[in-house]
Structure 1
Amino acid sequence: MVEQVLAAVRTAPNTTELRELPMPRVADDSALLKVEVAGICGTDVKMYRNPPFDDPVIMGHENVGTIVNAGPQFRRLHGVDDGDRVFVEHYVGCYNCQWCRIGEYRHCEATDWRTNTDARRYGYTTLNHPGTLWGGFAEYMYLPWNAVLHRVPDGVSAELAGLVTPLSNGIEWALLAAGVGYGATVLIQGPGQQGLSQVVACKQAGATKIIVTGTTKDRARLDLAVALGADETIDVTTTNAHEQVMDSTGGKGVDFVLDCTSRAGTAPVLFGIDVLKRREGTLLIQGELAAFPDFPVKLLTEKAITIKSARGHSYRACELALEQLASGRFPLERLSTHRFALDRVDHAIRSLAGDTEEQDVIHISLMPWLGRES
């Protein structure tokens, strides 16, 4: 086993540097993951630009790889062996609280860096914690006894499995949180990773009409939305979106609005309230807005609208995402648009942010061993 591990460490806003770090000691109840793919999403862009703390961090929270050097107790606990390919959730739960016991690790205090300075979460935990390798932008990653693993089905490549996080979020938010089901009409705002994943989730659940909005620069993404099952797309920069949604629904409005616009301000939320049906429509928001001045509570109550929030995913959503990937029903491989090696982490993150010459970026696979002997 190698003694040093190459990792891309975030050392300041908009800055990473390659470092060689000592391989952590593996006890009977721990293991290592040889990282094959670390997905990059919008959260990485946010954490790269505005880190929540100054200490050095190995980013990368969407991680797939193979188990190596697993201790005997770790193998017994997780039912895995060296060489098994797994997807690792970024939550490292306590396994004792009510949330962990039902697979809702995202709600465990031990995983929440916002409220717990000693929290463990891949891509967020600093180098000064025991285990050191707490992120996927590295050749190897440390797995303690309480890491949350999902076995990747045979036939699902590492790169395809790298889509589990956005796909599980789509399933969690659209189906398990919002409640989209058979016969529903749905408006999905924003054709990014989450929006496109929600198209798949809604189609699989039996929604009868799925409308996706975007801008002119999203043309390739909107075309992909159709390939994944959307019935209609709207370019909000060139079309009267309200008129088109109401025409498409016979003047009734939609049952569900799933807002995936993230940083687009208050306009998408207001538009969503406007086009929801008059009784018992549901609006799902990601909660990126710190505040919402002059929120139209009166209109909300008049239409009897329910607002729900979206955050992370459950164990069940990850299992459903892996089943979906294994089924081959949808061309989900088209979501994975770009690959970069470990020494191009900065370029990869900036590409997702739209700050480079890369075109039509949706989901990026950071592959630590790309172009190198393993």
Structure 2
Amino acid sequence: MAETVLAAVRTAPGTTELREFARPSIDADSALMRVEVAGICGTDVKMYAKPPFTDPVIMGHENIGVLADAGPKFLERHGLEVGDRIFVEHYVACYRCDWCHLGEYRHCEKTDWRTNPDARRYGYTSSEHPGTLWGGFSQFMYLPWNAVIHRVPTNVSAELAGIVTPLSNGIEWALIAAGIGYDAKVLIQGPGQQGLSQVVACSQAGASKIIVTGTTRDRARLELAEELGADVTVDVLTDDPLGKIMEATNGVGVDYVLDCTAGAGTAPVLLGIDALKRREGTMLIQGELAAFPDFPIKKLTEKAITIKSARGHSYRACELALRQLASHRFPLEKLSTHTFGLDQVDRAIRAVGGEVEQDVIHVSLLPWEGQA
């Protein structure tokens, strides 16, 4: 194994450069993963454009790879062997708090970089911290004893496993947070990687009607939504979205709305409130709404609507996502639309942000592409 590691480092807003780092030393309770695939999502686009701090960062928080070197205590603790393919969650747990004991590492205060300056989280942590390789835009990644790790099933390739993070988010938000189950009528707003993952989750759960909305430029995504199990797709720019939703539900409306339109403003929320059935529907929202001056609270209370928020995934959701991938029941490989090498990080992030390329759903960075 080489003594140096090549990584793409964010050095300023919208700027990366390739740097060589010394390979971290591994003790009895740490390990090194050879990164095969690092997925890129909308959060990376935001963090790239407006970094929360000025330290150099190796981005990449959706990471699949092979265990290349590990100490004996690390292997015993995680039940792994060198050569195993693994998925590493981006949360580095404390394993002491109630949230960690529940497998809800996203809620552990020690993983929150906003409130804990010493937090370790892959894709968010300064490369100047001990261990250095705290992100997947690198040939190797450092794993401390408290990394959260899942073994990838042997019949799942690295490329397919690359979508486990959005799929686990879809399962978490649709099935666990919203509680969608058999015979549910569901409106999914936004056919990106999260929305399409929710189509799969809802279909697997037995939803009787799945409606997906998007815009004209989402034509290819809407077609894929139908292939993955959507019953009806709606172009909100050319169709009458509420009319089409009511037609599809015989005038009743849906039981659940899953909003995956981060950055689209308040219109999807208003449509969701109108599309929900007359009593006790549920709306799940992820993303940010900077301002909502005329929020229809009266209509919300009259219809007894429950609003929930979505953030990240649990350990359980990741395990369910890996099992879903291993089943090969759905053509989930079609979510992976673009791949880039380590020297193309800038273009890869801009592709996710819609600045370059077309029909982008999920982008994978392959750190060893073009490398020896």
Alignment of 1:67-216 (within 5 A): 67-216=67-216
Report whether the alignment pairs 1:337 with 2:337: yes
Secondary structure of the residue that 1:7 maps to in structure 2?
A: strand
Report whether the alignment pairs 1:371 with 2:342: no
Secondary structure of the residue that 2:91 maps to in structure 1?
A: coil
- 1:35 is aligned with what amino acid? V
- List alignment gaps of at least 5 residues for structure 1: none
- 1:367 is aligned with what amino acid? L
Secondary structure of the residue that 2:265 maps to in structure 1?
A: coil
CA distance in 2 between partners of 1:158 and 1:53 (Å): 31
Q: Using the TM superposition, give the Cα deviation of residue 129 of structure 1 relative to its aligned residue in structure 2, in angstroms.
A: 1.1
Alignment of 1:15-54 (within 5 A): 15-54=15-54
For 1:297, the equivalent position in structure 2 comes to 297
CA distance in 2 between partners of 1:88 and 1:289 (Å): 30
Secondary structure of the residue that 1:47 maps to in structure 2?
A: helix
CA distance in 2 between partners of 1:69 and 1:39 (Å): 22
Q: Using the TM superposition, give the Cα deviation of residue 24 of structure 1 relative to its aligned residue in structure 2, in angstroms.
A: 1.1
Q: Using the TM superposition, give the Cα deviation of residue 236 of structure 1 relative to its aligned residue in structure 2, in angstroms.
A: 0.5
Q: Deviations over 1:37-89 (max 9, x none)?
A: 00011111111111111111000000000001100100000011111000000
- 1:226 is aligned with what amino acid? E
Secondary structure of the residue that 1:9 maps to in structure 2?
A: strand
Q: Using the TM superposition, give the Cα deviation of residue 371 of structure 1 relative to its aligned residue in structure 2, in angstroms.
A: 2.6
Alpha carbons 2:92, 2:147 under 8 Å: kept: yes
Secondary structure of the residue that 1:20 maps to in structure 2?
A: strand
CA distance in 1 between partners of 2:123 and 2:287 (Å): 21
Alpha carbons 2:31, 2:142 under 8 Å: kept: yes
For 1:321, the equivalent position in structure 2 comes to 321
CA distance in 2 between partners of 1:33 and 1:13 (Å): 27
TM-score in terms of structure 1 length: 0.98
- 2:224 is aligned with what amino acid? L
Q: Using the TM superposition, give the Cα deviation of residue 291 of structure 1 relative to its aligned residue in structure 2, in angstroms.
A: 3.5
Q: Using the TM superposition, give the Cα deviation of residue 292 of structure 1 relative to its aligned residue in structure 2, in angstroms.
A: 2.2
CA distance in 1 between partners of 2:99 and 2:130 (Å): 24
Q: Using the TM superposition, give the Cα deviation of residue 330 of structure 1 relative to its aligned residue in structure 2, in angstroms.
A: 0.2
- 1:11 is aligned with what amino acid? T
Q: Deviations over 1:271-321 (max 9, x none)?
A: 101110111100000041233222111111000000000000000000000
Alpha carbons 2:260, 2:287 under 8 Å: kept: no
Q: Deviations over 1:193-239 (max 9, x none)?
A: 00000000000000000000000000000000000000010001000
- 1:52 is aligned with what amino acid? P
CA distance in 2 between partners of 1:53 and 1:37 (Å): 26
- 1:198 is aligned with what amino acid? Q
- 2:348 is aligned with what amino acid? A
Report whether the alignment pairs 1:360 with 2:354: no
CA distance in 1 between partners of 2:308 and 2:182 (Å): 19
Q: Using the TM superposition, give the Cα deviation of residue 21 of structure 1 relative to its aligned residue in structure 2, in angstroms.
A: 0.9
CA distance in 2 between partners of 1:303 and 1:277 (Å): 8
Secondary structure of the residue that 1:58 maps to in structure 2?
A: coil
Provide the aligned length of Structure 1 versus Structure 2: 372
- 1:20 is aligned with what amino acid? E
CA distance in 2 between partners of 1:289 and 1:139 (Å): 37
Q: Deviations over 1:313-349 (max 9, x none)?
A: 0000000000000001000000000111100000111
Report the aligned-residue RMSD. 0.7
CA distance in 2 between partners of 1:118 and 1:265 (Å): 34
For 1:62, the equivalent position in structure 2 comes to 62
CA distance in 2 between partners of 1:272 and 1:39 (Å): 30
Report whether the alignment pairs 1:252 with 2:252: yes
For 1:225, the equivalent position in structure 2 comes to 225
CA distance in 2 between partners of 1:45 and 1:286 (Å): 16
Identity of aligned residues (%): 75
CA distance in 1 between partners of 2:365 and 2:162 (Å): 9
Alpha carbons 2:38, 2:63 under 8 Å: kept: yes
Q: Using the TM superposition, give the Cα deviation of residue 2 of structure 1 relative to its aligned residue in structure 2, in angstroms.
A: 1.4
- 1:293 is aligned with what amino acid? P
TM-score in terms of structure 2 length: 0.99
Q: Using the TM superposition, give the Cα deviation of residue 372 of structure 1 relative to its aligned residue in structure 2, in angstroms.
A: 2.5
For 1:286, the equivalent position in structure 2 comes to 286
- 1:310 is aligned with what amino acid? A
Secondary structure of the residue that 1:127 maps to in structure 2?
A: coil
Q: Deviations over 1:91-128 (max 9, x none)?
A: 00100000000100000011111111111110001112
- 1:183 is aligned with what amino acid? D
